[in-house]
Copies of this chain bind each other. A is one copy, B any other.
Amino acid sequence: MTKNPTTGAQPITFHPSGNAVGKPGTPYLTNCWYAAALSREVQGEDMLARQLLDTSVLLYRKADGEPVALHDRCPHRFVPLSKGKRDGDDVVCAYHALRFDCTGQCTHNPHGKQVIPAAAKVRSFPLLEKWGFIWIWMGNEPADASKLPDFGELDNGPASGIGHTYMPMKANFELIIDNVMDLSHVDHVHGEIISTRGQLTPQIPPVKEENKTVNVRWEWAQTPPMGIFAPFMQKPEESARHFVSVTWYAPATIQLTIGATQDDSAGLTLDQTVGQYDLHTCTPANANETHYWFATRRNHNVDDEGFNQFKIDAMHNAFVDEDGPIIEAVQREMNTSDFFSLNPVLITSDAAPVRVRRLLKQMIEKEAEKLASGG
């Protein structure tokens, strides 16, 4: 279910603080697409309340299935609209029954002479629905669909070959990006299923920055192959060549392709290996809490629904049980989101995550300058 974005700028004044609705100084990039929810998290007549970039957002679907995002705050007395009820494609506030359509315009005020105040609108946020995700644009500029990278490979295959999962984390989103951009941790944090048997750690992988993306790529051989691939290899106990290519796209999405092969003539690409195409994407709820989603499309055993569920559960649990406690402990110990202020001692494996942090910071500063100079 892929929908066209609403690309028009919103009529409501944008606060020049750099974040969507105007708490000053929160340093988020905003003229870009963030994941707001999995498609399946917004269903039927339900209203989903979710904090995104320090802002209360209401997500729901119109009768035709198109998703809608509104500022989850009635402009009258600041009741979250998600406490109210649906009226067709509109939302009725729980307190005084002001009704808003899916553009955020107040369409009914039952009080007195039923005059609708000129200012009675809530901000609506442009959305794109693609690849099982609902993407949101929270910046001041018109939404630009071309700024959402193409992750169409996620659609390349049957439903039984892709899994999605949602993992809320009590940590700043950049700690989650760091974690995926530096996979040298996998041998130390994770168990059998994604162990490289120590092959990743000694490498100094090449890092490429281009077009505001950062890519890091590892290649190695291991015996036996990685646990997630070994069962699909011809010789599950023997060596296989592996690769993983990880690309960050601003603001907070990482596309990771990983594969293994025992065919000496095969190239280390998704189509020539037993592999998978993954998306890690995260969206700050606020400085200390992050929505984190993962999707994985594999190119093997794609019709096995039971295996599909097993696999996404295993990946979910690996993040939640293994990465999660470490990342959340780092957040508590840092007690700030300003990583460099604590003078970290960097090592070779930090090249990619540090490149991402610096590039994102530049983009945020550039956006702030543009806003300060009148946009």
Contacts and interface: CB of A to CB of B under 8 A. Distances in A.
A185 to B, nearest CB: 6
B347 A97 contact: no
Interface residues of A, number: 53
Interface in A318-343: 325-326, 329-330, 333-334, 342-343
* Most interface-central of A76, A95, A97 (chain B CB within 10 A): A95
B204 A83 contact: no
| Chain copies in complex | 3
A111 B329 contact: no
Grouping DSSP codes into helix (H, G, I), strand (E, B) and loop, the A interface class, with mixed when no group exceeds half, is loop
A73 interface: yes
A188 interface: yes
B77 A201 contact: no
Interface stretch (A35-43, A113-121, A158-166, A223-231): A113-121
A202 B184 CA distance: 66
* Most interface-central of A76, A78, A202, A329 (chain B CB within 10 A): A78
Given A112-B203, A344-B78, A349-B111, A97 B188 contact: yes
A350 B117 CA distance: 13
A266 interface: no
Interface of A: 56, 72-73, 75-80, 83, 93-98, 109-115, 117, 119-120, 178, 182, 184-185, 187-189, 198, 201-204, 325-326, 329-330, 333-334, 342-350
In the complex, the 9 A-B pairs of residues with the closest C-beta atoms, listed nearest first: A112-B348, A75-B345, A112-B204, A97-B188, A119-B345, A111-B349, A110-B201, A120-B345, A78-B333
